[in-house]
Amino acid sequence: GQQLNQSPQSMFIQEGEDVSMNCTSSSIFNTWLWYKQDPGEGPVLLIALYKAGELTSNGRLTAQFGITRKDSFLNISASIPSDVGIYFCAGDSGGSNYKLTFGKGTLLTVNP
Amino acid sequence: DGGITQSPKYLFRKEGQNVTLSCEQNLNHDAMYWYRQDPGQGLRLIYYSQIVNDFQKGDIAEGYSVSREKKESFPLTVTSAQKNPTAFYLCASRRRDGGDSPLHFGNGTRLTVT
């Protein structure tokens, strides 16, 4: 089946630093999604990308849909303690069955 | 406010017992999904349903069963045949009327089987 390689697995940063994480795939996806999950909670959608090359921002978050449609990155600028959590990428290859493929997540720790 | 409600938040069962996890949504979404999450793993799809009275197996359906008798509800039963049932279970939903309808998640049920 399809697989997403998400990196890094974990990051430890100081408050105020910028963060970058990415996902790559051997398959083409029509949609890329980025979610954040707090401990014991469900993932919350951060950014959805629908077009190759699309660059979308949501506050301090910026995500891009790679031009080859096989990769995406998420940047967080000026990190704050509440950015702590697990960030997941997810890809949808299209079709009538909306079955997302998820990366294994990036665990972000922000030291105040 | 609209959303997806999963209950209970924590569930404990003895090995050999079936257990049903509840998922209710008031978003008027057609499609609903069940995922399993294990530590350090991504989300793995158990079952999904695109319309009432219809559902399909996901990647790890063995040992699970579902029903979709109402649009708002998609309960998941973890049967005694599931070899490693202890996990965090997430329910999700979305519209079916367009590709720009991303998946929305509930807050999960943590099942512990001893």
The mean per-residue pLDDT over the stretch A93-102 comes to 78
B73 pLDDT band (50/70/90 cuts)?
very high
A96 pLDDT band, cuts 50/70/90, is low
Closest CA to B92 of B25, B41, B19, B9: B25
Residues of B in contact with A41 (CB under 8 A): 107-108
Task: Give mean pLDDT, residues A13-25.
Answer: 96
Average pLDDT of A62-84?
96
On the question of pLDDT at A5 being above 90, the answer is yes
Closest CA–CA distance from residue A45 to any residue of chain B (Å): 7
Residue A96 vs residue A87, higher pLDDT: A87
Residue A22, pLDDT above cutoff 70: yes
- Give the residue-averaged pLDDT of B66-85: 95
pLDDT band at A1 (very low <50, low <70, confident <90, very high): low
The whole-number average pLDDT for the span A17-33 is 94
Q: Answer positive or negative: Cα dihedral of A48, B43, B7, B78.
A: positive
What is the arithmetic mean of pLDDT over B6-15? 94
Give me the mean pLDDT over the B76-85 stretch.
93
pLDDT confidence of residue B95: 87
| Beta carbons of A48 and B58 less than 8 Å apart | no
Count the Cβ atoms, other than its own, within 10 Å of residue B33: 26
Residue among A30, A45, A104 minimizing CB distance to B41: A104
pLDDT of residue B84: 92
Q: Which residues of A touch B100 (CB under 8 A)?
A: 31, 48, 50
Q: Which of A41, A100, A101, A107 to probe the B interface (max B CBs under 10 A)?
A: A100
Q: Which chain B residue has its CA at the smallest distance from A97's CA? A: B50
Q: Which amino acid is at A39?
A: P
pLDDT digits (tens, 9 = 90+) for B85-106: 999 999 999 987 656 788 899 9
Cα separations (Å) of A48 from A61, A63, B48, B76? 12, 8, 21, 28
**Pick from A5, A39, A6: which is nearest to A109 by CA?**
A39
CB A75 within 8 A of CB A9: no
pLDDT greater than 70 at residue A2: no
The percent helix, strand, coil of chain A (3-state, each to 5) is 5, 55, 45
pLDDT at B49: 95
